[in-house]
Amino acid sequence: MSLMNRIQRFLRSPKGQKMTRQAQDYVKKPENQRKLRRLAGRLRGRH
């Protein structure tokens, strides 16, 4: 089974759906959005 298939199966499972909801709740908060934007900027700067 490929890695992508395993990931898709996990995301469809109850535990995967719970983690997806938690991640969505996390990124809704403005302070977390700022943290994620800073992290994305640092990662983009590493070329």
Q: What total of structural domains would you count in the chain? A: 1
First to last CA, the chain: 32
> For the segment 7-47, what is each residue's pLDDT rounded down to a tens digit?
999 999 999 999 999 999 999 999 999 999 999 999 998 75
Tokens 């302070």 map to which residue? 31
Distance (Å, rounded) from C-alpha 38 to C-alpha 46? 13
Whole-model pTM: value is 0.64
> For the segment 3-18, what is each residue's pLDDT rounded down to a tens digit?
999 999 999 999 999 9
Q: Domain residues for 17?
A: 3-44
